């Protein structure tokens, strides 16, 4: 992956100034700098401090966050990811397009999401046509009715001397077989509609990802209100039972808080809103069981040892890993972790990206350690990977959930945390890679479609750089 896309602050300032109808000279005079210096700032040739940025924002009548919006950086990163999915990505910098017109950037992403949904629907239908016996039955039924109708029509056309009784019989055949053909067509259309409703799930996941990332996967109001709940979780419960009870407790105490957070965002589909609401309820339950301040202090003390944190807070590996990915409070941040959960088939069921580590939506590189964990369930594995010149530490474990009915096989999935290698010394799992030698680094990609590594024996698709 290329370096994380950041929308230039200078472009944002220039666009906001032009929108407000303010000249460069007038703005420079108002904030106490020379027009030449402001020109350098707008060209991104000079860094700008917080105090000057606030003065510029006040003069233009916009919040200072308008120049450093996380959502714009996320838009740029999404555009960059889209461009790399093609054999020859479009020239230019994605951040420049976002700076010029965020609306156009969102339009491009929307078109790409629709194309992915249409492609998924086409593949799904093709697979159903080839494998589902229902479609074999439809095809046989349709051909049979068409053959019967054609035969009766040809007989009526060829024999003018047919008596009325025989003619009525063949006419009746035409009517009954036509009605049956109509019924089969109606059944087929209903089956088509019911069989493709879930194809937009990928778009829903992407939309909820954007919602969480635009909030930096941190919700201060939920943290505060969860910390005020005085109700306790009963003793003697397993970690999974504790989380289920915590989910019920926050549902009783925080319905308005969750509704306000959801209400502040417009989702395209009910499925996306339902996913987002579920994500916030899980967030609230985690915040209730693992209060921010105490959890962050314990994370520092254990150097982010997931097992040690699980013992302290009576939580599962997944619950702790997910909570670690939410330590984003300004001024009291933990190590920024990305979070990923997949099943043995590689299907992504949860992902929380960071600006530095953008996780794939439809399955990661098969060389990532998260897939190796399925052969060693219950063990925590770590891996130092080189992804297009950037190094990251990946920490993963495969888990099982036993079903209540003995006849049902356990549910298996793997959970992974990812972080920049520049902070290895802060994490206990980084000790094994402290030497930084190339021999301990795995050269990998993000996923095959965008990967430029032509020498990978695990490749399932042609190289993006080929």
CATH code for position 52: 1.10.260.40
- Residue 405 in tokens: 């009915």
Residues 166, 215, single domain; the answer is no
> pLDDT tens, 209-223?
888 887 888 999 999
Judge if 295 and 256 occupy the same domain.
yes
What pLDDT score was predicted for residue 199?
43
In a domain, residue 4? The reply is no
Same domain, yes or no, for 80 and 149? no
State residue 195's pLDDT score: 52
Same domain, 83 and 191: no
Do residue 466 and residue 339 come from a single domain?
Answer: yes
152 and 273 housed in the same domain? no
Most confident of the following: 158-167, 284-293, 343-352: 284-293
Look at residue 233 and tell me if it is in a domain.
yes
CA 369 to chain centre: 20
Indicate the average pLDDT of the chain: 82
User: What total number of domains does the chain contain?
Assistant: 4
Q: Could you identify the residue written with the tokens 């714009």?
A: 72
- 9 close to 48: Cβ distance less than 8 angstroms: yes
- Report yes or no on 200 lying in a domain: no
Distance CA 317, CA 113 (A): 32
In a domain, 1, yes or no: no
The tokens of 351 are what? 């992902």
* pLDDT (average), residues 25-50: 83
The pLDDT value given to residue 208: 85
Q: Which of 79, 113, 147 is the last residue of a domain?
A: 113
pLDDT tens across 186-241, in order? Answer: 877 777 666 544 444 466 777 888 888 878 889 999 999 999 999 999 999 999 99
Instruction: Name 292's Cβ contacts closer than 8 Å, sequence gap at least 6.
Output: 223, 227, 327, 329, 332
204 falls within a domain: no
Q: Which of 396, 441, 393 is closest to 419 using CA atoms?
A: 393
In which domain, by residue range, is 76 found? 9-113
- Alpha carbons 177 and 16: distance in angstroms, whole number: 68
pLDDT given at position 197: 47
Instruction: Mark which of 81, 113, 145 sits at the end of a domain.
Output: 113
Question: 374 pLDDT exceeds 80?
Answer: yes
291: confidence class by pLDDT, cuts 50, 70, 90? very high
**Looking at residue 406, what is its pLDDT?**
61
Classify strands 348-352 and 338-342 as parallel, antiparallel or unpaired: antiparallel
Q: Among 86, 113, 140, which residue terminates a domain?
A: 113
What CATH code is carried by the domain that includes residue 147? 1.20.58
Contacts of 174 by beta carbon, 8 Å cutoff, 6+ apart? 149, 152, 153, 156
Do 62 and 76 lie in one domain? The reply is yes
Domain check: are 305 and 349 in the same one? no
Residues 399 and 415 in one domain: yes
Does 339 lie in the same domain as 452? Answer: yes
Tell me, yes or no, whether 119 lies in a domain. Answer: no
Coil, strand or helix at 207: helix
DSSP labels, 277-340: HHHHHHHHHHHHHS-HHHHHHHHHHHTS-HHHHHHHHT--HHHHHHHHTT-EETTEE----EEE
Same domain as 262, residue 221: yes
Higher-pLDDT residue of 21, 269: 21
pLDDT at 285: 96
At 198 the pLDDT is 45
Q: Which of residues 2 and 108 earns the better pLDDT score?
A: 108
Residue 127 forms part of a structural domain: no
- Residue 402 lies inside a defined structural domain of this protein: yes
- Choice among 17-31, 80-94, 343-357, 390-404 with the minimum mean pLDDT: 80-94
- Do residues 302 and 325 both lie within one domain? yes
List C-alpha distances in Å: 305 to 47, 112, 123, 394, 417. Answer: 37, 39, 42, 13, 12
Residue with structure tokens 């896309």?
Answer: 5
* C-alpha to C-alpha distances, 250 to 196, 244, 317, nearest whole angstrom: 35, 10, 21
Distance in angstroms (rounded) separating the CA atoms of residues 221 and 257: 7
Has residue 463 got a pLDDT over 60?
A: no
Neighbours of 228 (CB within 10 A): 9
Helix 70-84 crosses helix 201-214 at what angle (to 10 degrees)? Answer: 140
């Amino acid at each position: 992956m290329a370096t994380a896309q950041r929308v230039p602050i200078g472009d944002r300032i220039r666009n906001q100034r032009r929108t407000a109808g303010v000249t460069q000279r007038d703005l420079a005079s108002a904030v106490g700098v020379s027009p030449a210096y402001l020109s350098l700032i707008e060209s991104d040739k000079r860094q700008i401090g917080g105090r000057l940025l606030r003065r510029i924002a006040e003069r233009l009548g916009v919040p200072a966050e308008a120049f450093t919006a996380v959502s714009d950086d996320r838009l740029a990163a999404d555009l960059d990811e889209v461009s790399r999915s093609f054999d020859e990505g479009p020239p230019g910098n994605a951040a420049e397009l976002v700076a010029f017109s965020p609306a156009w950037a969102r339009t491009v992403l929307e078109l790409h999401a629709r194309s992915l949904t249409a492609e998924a629907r086409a593949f799904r239908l093709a697979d159903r046509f080839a494998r589902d016996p229902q479609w074999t039955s439809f095809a046989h039924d349709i051909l049979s009715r068409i053959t019967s109708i054609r035969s009766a029509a040809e007989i009526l056309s060829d024999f003018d001397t047919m008596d009325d009784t025989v003619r009525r019989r063949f006419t009746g055949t035409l009517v009954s077989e036509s009605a049956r053909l109509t019924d089969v067509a109606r059944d087929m259309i209903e089956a088509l509609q019911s069989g493709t409703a879930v194809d937009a799930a990928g778009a829903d996941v992407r939309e909820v990802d954007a919602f969480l990332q635009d909030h930096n996967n941190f919700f201060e109001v939920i943290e505060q209100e969860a910390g005020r709940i005085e109700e306790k979780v009963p003793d003697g419960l397993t970690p999974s039972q504790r989380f289920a009870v915590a989910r019920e407790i926050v549902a009783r105490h925080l319905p308005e808080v969750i509704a306000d957070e959801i209400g502040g965002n417009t989702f395209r589909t009910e499925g996306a809103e339902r996913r987002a609401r579920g994500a916030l309820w899980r967030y609230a339950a985690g915040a209730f069981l693992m209060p921010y301040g105490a959890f962050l202090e314990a994370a520092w003390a254990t150097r982010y040892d997931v097992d040690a944190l699980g013992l302290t807070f009576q939580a599962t590996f997944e619950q702790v890993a997910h909570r670690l990915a939410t330590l984003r409070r300004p001024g009291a941040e933990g190590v920024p972790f990305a979070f990923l959960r997949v099943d043995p088939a590689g299907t992504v069921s949860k992902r929380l990206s960071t600006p530095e580590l953008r996780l794939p939506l439809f399955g990661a590189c098969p060389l990532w350690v998260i897939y190796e964990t399925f052969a060693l369930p219950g063990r925590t594995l770590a891996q130092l990977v080189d992804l297009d010149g950037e190094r990251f530490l990946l920490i993963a474990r495969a888990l099982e959930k036993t079903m209540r009915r003995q006849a049902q096989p356990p549910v298996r999935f793997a959970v992974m945390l990812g972080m920049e290698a520049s902070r290895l010394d802060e994490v206990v799992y980084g000790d094994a890679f402290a030497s930084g030698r190339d021999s301990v680094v795995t050269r990998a990609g993000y996923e095959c479609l965008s990967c430029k590594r032509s020498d990978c024996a695990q490749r399932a698709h042609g190289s993006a750089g080929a």
